[in-house]
Structure 1
Amino acid sequence: MTNLLELYVKLVGLVLVGFILGRKLPTAVPTRLGRFLFWVGVPISIVAFLRQADLSGQIWIAPAIAYLAMLLGASLAWLAIQGQVHFTKTIPQQSTQGSLILAAMVGNTGYLGFPITLAMVGQEYFAWALFYDLLGSLFGNYGLGVALASHFGGSIGNFKQIAQAILINPALWSFGFGLMLRQVTIPKIVEFYLDKMGWSVVALSLVLIGMRLSKLKSWHKLPQVGMSLAIKMLLVPLVIGIALPLFGVTGSAAQVIVLQMAMPPAFGTLVIAETFNLDRDLAVTALAGGAMLLLVTLPIWLWLF
């Protein structure tokens, strides 16, 4: 309980700081901060925390569970849409259907999932969250997510550019570099400052989330997006979380996986929605609603698992 309260103070405090700064500072500031974190900050934090992570056990199953969670979320969202069509005799627009499925499928396992995992479970199991995000969510978002968006948005995306975006992702390269650096002995003072830089990036990531939330002004589709949030943040983590022992995943490793599955919709879903002409207002509402719902669901998952 003490750890959870401390997390809430830091989480809400840093996001609130970002929210206030986002209202005061020029629009270009969060964009530049996002680029800095993407190209420099997050890769440094991955190298820093990966040095202290435990890579033993069935860690390679984490991406497989990520794909399972995304497929289950997308399937349940599609079934829910079909149920709505059957009972209400109304058919949502294709663009709205695409945004609903994306919101139920891909979570914010990086900028939000990493700091929560580090705070509640510790650096030893950080690799589970890392594998889940970089080898699971990343490819699910820009692979399956883009394919779905292209279908529901009625536009054909440049899949060559998408493949290039994945391959040049600095987080993936720093992941490989961090694995190699684990075998190298570095001076204590360097390791000390590397660790401090890693935690500084975590704080900046939360500030950036606040900045981006300050730009979200659409709430009128909250009732409509409730279905996707219930699937993404409640049903999928519960169903797969209960089944994790069948995959040999228990204890702290299972807690990390459940926390990653329970994260709110990713900011990447908004980028995809804008690129492929999906329902942007619904995507925006899903981001904001999911971030607030997390404050309620987080202690539930920590208690259950």
Structure 2
Amino acid sequence: MPDLIPALIKLYIPLMGWISLGWVLGRLLPKGASAKLGQFIFWIGLPISIVAFLYRADLSGWILIAPVTAWVAIAVGAAFAWVWIDLGVGDERLRAMSKGLDDHAPNTGLVLQNSDWSRATQGSFLLAMMVGNTGYMGFPVVLGLVGPDYFAWALFYDLLGTFVGVYGVGVVLAAKYGTVGEGGSVKLSEKILKNPAIWSLGFGLLLRLVNLPEFAETSLRTCAWGIVNLALVLIGMQLSQLRSLRKLKQALPCLGIKMVLVPLVVGTGLMFFGVAEQTQLALVLQMGMPPAFATVVFAEAYGLDRELAVTTLVFGCLALLVLLPLWVLLFGAMT
């Protein structure tokens, strides 16, 4: 594709530039700075961006395919992850039996407590596989490679797919595999109602019925792109606060499932449902996003494997730069 290299350069320069700036600021500013910026983006910035990009977004076609695709991707990834975990646990048991350590032990969980596949590690593995950074990272990538016209597909994938998965299945998995409780149950309906992105989605759809003056629309779009850049700065600030990078043995297959296998399998499946080329690319890009920072938060709150969560997050961000050209070549045309 002749336009691939210029398009990637156009995306990578601001992507890496803003993230690098955030990393530097994260080192220089107080630790609470990233939290305050995150609150600003969550409550004010992201809603403005959603309204702005929805105003001219193409909502034609079966847009509900986006969240359905997200849930299919989660299910497919979970299936592959379960198989990998089962193979890893089974291999450890076989090795233990060969050494005479597990010949008569009725509770194989005793072996797993000191293994590479403890319940906490299994929980983080599954969580990192299903919770992608389809918002702060996914939106800029889709906007840069596919264009604002297809932003709605990325938005529906994030809000009705990833978000519901995080506070639905994600919380259940974290509570099941974690070693400590969060101190209270998380109500999915409450999380949804309190999410400003949901409200801005409704407002953005209503605003499409109004003809805004050109100056107002331009100003709104300029603010939205500024928020996108701030989101990348936030990612850099959060990355600067991460320290441990271990658990590569589990992190690499997790990322292989999350960022390679699932987009390849589900993205290929979309071809059989008549999904337009650019729409398909937008969905594949969302499926191929690295694990979200929520995986680290959940690991700390529920006593999961934080080292694995951090390792998958950092190496996932690096892998994204390598994989983006592959998805563009395989699945679609760029704007």
Structure 1 residues 288-303: aligned runs within 5 Å? 288-303=314-329
* Range with bigger deviation, 40-49 or 222-231: 222-231
Equivalence for 2:267: 241
The answer on whether the counterparts of 1:222 and 1:289 sit within 8 Å (CA) in structure 2 is no
The answer on whether the counterparts of 1:141 and 1:269 sit within 8 Å (CA) in structure 2 is no
Q: AA paired with 1:238? A: L
Equivalence for 2:249: 223
- CA distance, structure 2, for counterparts of residue 3 and residue 137 of structure 1: 27
- CA distance, structure 2, for counterparts of residue 26 and residue 228 of structure 1: 32
Structure 1 residues 200-215: aligned runs within 5 Å? 200-215=226-241
Equivalence for 2:171: 146
The answer on whether the counterparts of 2:171 and 2:186 sit within 8 Å (CA) in structure 1 is no
- CA distance, structure 1, for counterparts of residue 248 and residue 167 of structure 2: 25
Query: Does the alignment pair 1:119 with 2:144?
Result: yes
- CA distance, structure 1, for counterparts of residue 65 and residue 131 of structure 2: 18
Identity of aligned residues (%): 52
Query: Does the alignment pair 1:2 with 2:6?
Result: yes
Equivalence for 1:77: 81
Equivalence for 1:251: 277
Equivalence for 1:65: 69
Query: Does the alignment pair 1:199 with 2:225?
Result: yes
Equivalence for 1:131: 156
Structure 1 residues 26-37: aligned runs within 5 Å? 26-37=30-41
* Range with bigger deviation, 215-224 or 86-95: 86-95
- CA distance, structure 2, for counterparts of residue 97 and residue 166 of structure 1: 27
Gapped regions of structure 2 (runs ≥ 5)? 94-110
Deviation at 1:87, TM superposition (A): 2.0
Q: AA paired with 1:61? A: I
Q: AA paired with 1:283? A: A
Equivalence for 2:107: none
Q: Deviations over 1:91-113 (max 9, x none)?
A: 31111100001111111000000
Equivalence for 2:102: none
User: What is the TM-score with the length of structure 2 in the denominator?
Assistant: 0.88
Deviation at 1:83, TM superposition (A): 0.4
Equivalence for 2:127: 102
Query: Does the alignment pair 1:183 with 2:187?
Result: no
Deviation at 1:295, TM superposition (A): 0.8
Deviation at 1:159, TM superposition (A): 3.2
Q: AA paired with 1:303? A: L
| Number of residue pairs the alignment of both structures matches | 305
- CA distance, structure 2, for counterparts of residue 64 and residue 265 of structure 1: 19
Indicate the SS of the match to 2:136. Answer: coil
Deviation at 1:302, TM superposition (A): 0.8
Q: AA paired with 2:58? A: D
Compared CA separation, residues 213 and 160, structure 1 to 2 (3 A): closer
The answer on whether the counterparts of 1:74 and 1:102 sit within 8 Å (CA) in structure 2 is no
Deviation at 1:274, TM superposition (A): 1.6
Radius of gyration: which is bigger?
Answer: 2
Aligned CA-pair RMSD: 1.3
The answer on whether the counterparts of 2:167 and 2:186 sit within 8 Å (CA) in structure 1 is no
Deviation at 1:266, TM superposition (A): 1.0
Compared CA separation, residues 45 and 154, structure 1 to 2 (3 A): same
Deviation at 1:160, TM superposition (A): 4.4
Q: AA paired with 1:41? A: G
Deviation at 1:254, TM superposition (A): 0.2
Q: Deviations over 1:100-149 (max 9, x none)?
A: 01111111000000000001000111111011001110001110011111
Indicate the SS of the match to 1:159. Answer: coil
Q: Deviations over 1:59-91 (max 9, x none)?
A: 111100100101111221111010011223263
Q: Deviations over 1:158-203 (max 9, x none)?
A: 3345542222000111011100111012222111110000000000
Equivalence for 1:282: 308
